[in-house]
Amino acid sequence: MTGGSDSGARLLIVGPPGAGKGTQAVRIAESYGIPAISTGDIFRANVKDETPLGVQVKAILDAGDYVPDSLTNELISDRLSQPDAAEGFLLDGYPRTADQVVFLDELLASKGEALSAVVQLVADRDEIVERLRKRALDQGRSDDTEDAIRHRQDVYLRETGPLIATYAERGLVLEVDGLGAIDVVADRIDAALSSRDIRPTAAA
């Protein structure tokens, strides 16, 4: 069985900027008893703790370069080997490239595991732009223009489109409407995961 709470839920969450992905990731982690693992958080934690990997990441970022796949993969491999991820995890922000997809496949296969599902938050682009524009105005962020917001949406589509297609071919993608109240969206996610026999730990 792919992933009831007994065998652990191994999930990815993807969604455009402004779709509330971070908020839902935290809630899923709490409900399903798995760690939410964000590549950004991993980078920051390693840099802060000055681990050998963190020192490498800091030098790359300080130079204004992108962290290469090899280093990102190493950080993810290290994080997924930690005890709290033994029974499942929720990845946010990884994988981002085709090579990272292959690495994750091989990493999980080496442990006799596989992804349970990919939660894809979908939302009308114009509504997201409007939501983010209002937030920027409320927070006094004049640099967050409509053009800048639309550019981030384009980057998201360009980066994640091929990855979502890959996982869709495997039948792993669960599309969830990301617009609406946080609890409403959370209920939609639970219903989608339940259709794959993946349930909150409280209901196990």
Is-catalytic flag, 48? Answer: no
Is-catalytic flag, 152? Answer: yes
What are the two backbone dihedrals, phi and then psi, of residue 198, each rounded to the nearest 5 degrees? -110, 115
Quick one: CA torsion of 98, 53, 77, 172, rounded to 10 degrees?
-40
Q: Is 92 helix (H, G, I), strand (E, B) or coil?
A: strand
pLDDT grade, residue 2 (50/70/90)? Answer: very low
Is-catalytic flag, 141? Answer: yes
Residue 137 contacts by C-beta under 8 Å, 6 or more apart in sequence?
none
Residue 40 confidence (pLDDT): 85
Buried b / exposed e across 26-64, counting CB within 10 Å, b at 16+?
A: ebbbebbbbbbbbbeebbeebbeeeeebbebbeeeeeee
- pLDDT tens track for 23-54: 999 999 999 999 999 988 888 899 999 999 89
Residue-averaged pLDDT of the chain: 90
Strand 117-122 to strand 36-38: parallel, antiparallel, or no bridges (unpaired)?
unpaired
Residue-range domain boundaries for the chain: 9-194
Residue 202 confidence (pLDDT): 58
Residue 35 confidence (pLDDT): 96
Is-catalytic flag, 133? Answer: no
What does the pLDDT average to over 87-93?
A: 94
- pLDDT tens track for 133-159: 988 889 888 777 889 899 989 988 998
Tell me the one-letter amino acid at 152.
R
Percent of the chain with pLDDT over 70: 95
In whole angstroms, give the CA distance from residue 11 to residue 172.
Answer: 10
**Out of 10, 21, 196, 199, which one is annotated catalytic?**
21
What does the pLDDT average to over 98-110?
A: 96
**Out of 44, 48, 135, 170, which one is annotated catalytic?**
135
CATH superfamily of 9-194: P-loop containing nucleotide triphosphate hydrolases (3.40.50.300)
Looking at residue 95, the DSSP 8-state letter turns out to be -
Residue 89 confidence (pLDDT): 97
pLDDT grade, residue 7 (50/70/90)? Answer: low
Quick one: CA torsion of 2, 177, 164, 54, rounded to 10 degrees?
-90
Residue 1 confidence (pLDDT): 35
Is-catalytic flag, 135? Answer: yes
**Out of 96, 125, 131, 133, which one is annotated catalytic?**
96
Residue 143 confidence (pLDDT): 75
